[in-house]
Chain A
Amino acid sequence: MTDVAIMAWRQYRLERRLFWRNPSAAFFNFLLPLLFLAFFGAIFHNNQHDLDVIVPGIAGMSVMSTTFTALAFNITFLREQGVLKRIRGTPMPGISYLLGLAGNAVTNTAVQIVIITVAGKVFFGTGWPRNYLELVVFVSAGVLCFASLGVAFSHVIPNFDSAPAYVNAVFLPVVAVSGVFFDETHTPGFLKGIAQALPLYHLISGLSAAMVKGTALSHNVTALGVIAAWSALGILFAVRGFSWDQRRD
């Protein structure tokens, strides 16, 4: 067991080193949420209500992009390149490798949440988070949910060339419908229905409670429940369909 953890840690350290070795990719990874924040901050600069919507919205989007998008891309690439197969031929346990990969993604999530929180306080007047425990709970739940869904979704993507199309076909509509960029009270009913069935909507309402509204965790049990249900689905399909090899046996 300690062996599994030590190997996961080594893999994580390698992933972090390699992440920073491609500085332009790393830069844009962190710049993107800031660009969104700056853009909407400029639009809503006189309207604290809208700023209070956009900051947790962008935070939710960041959780999804650093885990779901990143892992779906990475695993498709690593599988196509044969890196997964090579790892499979070594004594490193598969779970150690995947934990290292996921740890890398989660680190990016944490950094982005910190950047967004600081930017929210410094530039957008949303103040410091009202409930840090709630923030940690929802970020963790969101990470688990979207990381497992990202791994599961990588099974659907046939090759790396088509990965951007597949990932964006999910990411963009989910972001658009889940109220990242606008107050959900303005959404038409049927769109709201769709959004409420999806995990990002609930992640954002949890983050909004933690970062802006300060409502207690006990008021957001339903949101947590929906995220947990999607997590269970994500984990099930992430594990069941997992293939280390491009060619299916």
Chain B
Amino acid sequence: MSDPAIAVRGLRKSYADFEAVRGIEFEVRRGEVFGLLGPNGAGKTTTVEILEGYRRRSAGEVSVLGFDPGERSRELRARVGIVLQSTGIYRHIRVREAVAHFASMYPHPRDVDEVVAVCGLDGKQTATARTLSGGQLRRLDLALALVGDPELIFLDEPTTGFDPAARRNAWDTIRSLKELGKTILLTTHYLDEAQALADRVAIIKDGRILIEGAPGSLGASAGGAPFRVVYRNGDGGVVEHETDDPTALLYELTGAALARGERLEGLTVTRPTLEDVYLELTADEDPEPAPAGS
């Protein structure tokens, strides 16, 4: 089980007039939550859809749970759960009926009622899909992807359109999946979501991975100092220091302040957030228009 859940090497995907993916490499370890971030049209969805077996790659090596997803083996599909960005369902199907029907497609499904409950659809079992709210439909998407008890779960923008409470609930569900030992490939626009859930993230732009690593360590690998110390001096002016050794810097600053009999007002020590790194890396003076459908 030590081989990676997903291994991607030299992945390329060309459309008639456009190269959407230009040599991507990454690995997702078993039991890990891996976040794939990037602006629209960066190649995220194309990459994920190649891994899901929806699209053929133009070049490169791809392995998902040891299978080539391009061959679309049923065994692989039975071990993978997919939550797509926008997928419909029969308008007149009932919640429990839908989950039970999807359960019947898998060799070792989870308990239907348990999955309905885990996805927060208790009390909605007999509601038809057309009467559900957007958030409830999204939870039904998750239920349909989980009911086959997959080892690997693809989540494409799983909380788009959720209110804050529903997002927290969804995050708890995703964390509980990780505790069950599931591997999760998460694509998201929400950087706080990636920061909260992902063990590692990769930022994609223009079909290439710009940076990859644990969300907290990306600042350092992006070339910036890992810590930022900020306080206000006696005149109320803001003073900023960047350092890779905050302990020594704080000792020095606070010692000097105490010696002067002053306080360091508003003292904070921060690491650059994922958002800081993301915005810096993906800033584009000459934005290419995002091609449709990539």
A interface with B by C-beta (< 8 Å): 7, 10, 14, 17-18, 21-22, 78, 80-83, 85-86, 88-93, 244-245, 247, 249
Contacts and interface: CB of A to CB of B under 8 A. Distances in A.
B144 A86 contact: yes
B74 A93 contact: yes
Contacts of A91: 74-75, 77-78, 105-107, 148
Nearest to A83: B88
Nearest to A89: B82
A194 B209 CA distance: 59
Interface of B: 52-56, 74-75, 77-78, 80, 82, 84, 86-90, 92-93, 97, 101-102, 104-107, 128, 144, 148, 293
A111 to B, nearest CB: 19
Interface centre among A7, A10, A85, A91 (most CB of B within 10 A): A91
B92 A21 contact: yes
Contact of B87 (A21, A22, A83): A83
Contacts of B105: 7, 90-92
Given A89-B77, A91-B106, A82 B55 contact: no
Given A82-B84, A85-B84, A249-B55, A90 B90 contact: no
Contact of A245 (B54, B74, B80, B102): B54
Contacts of B89: 81, 83, 86
A90 B106 CA distance: 8
Given A10-B104, A14-B97, A91-B148, 7 more contacts: A10-B101, A83-B88, A89-B54, A90-B148, A91-B106, A92-B105, A244-B54
14 contacts: A7-B104, A7-B105, A18-B90, A80-B88, A81-B89, A86-B84, A89-B53, A89-B77, A90-B77, A90-B102, A90-B148, A91-B75, A244-B54, A249-B54
A54 B89 CA distance: 39
A80 to B, nearest CB: 8
A247 B87 contact: no
A17 B87 CA distance: 21
A83 B144 CA distance: 12
Contacts of B84: 82, 85-86, 89
Nearest to B106: A91
Contacts of A244: 54
A80 B91 CA distance: 13
A81 B293 CA distance: 15
A90 B78 CA distance: 7
A86 B90 CA distance: 11
Nearest to A93: B74
A14 B148 CA distance: 18
B87 A85 contact: yes
Contact of B56 (A80, A89, A245, A249): A249
Contacts of B92: 18, 21-22
Contacts of A89: 52-54, 77, 80, 82, 84
Nearest to A82: B87
Contact of B88 (A18, A82, A247, A249): A82
A22 B93 CA distance: 10
Interface centre among B54, B78, B105, B106 (most CB of A within 10 A): B105
A18 B82 contact: no
Contacts of B104: 7, 10
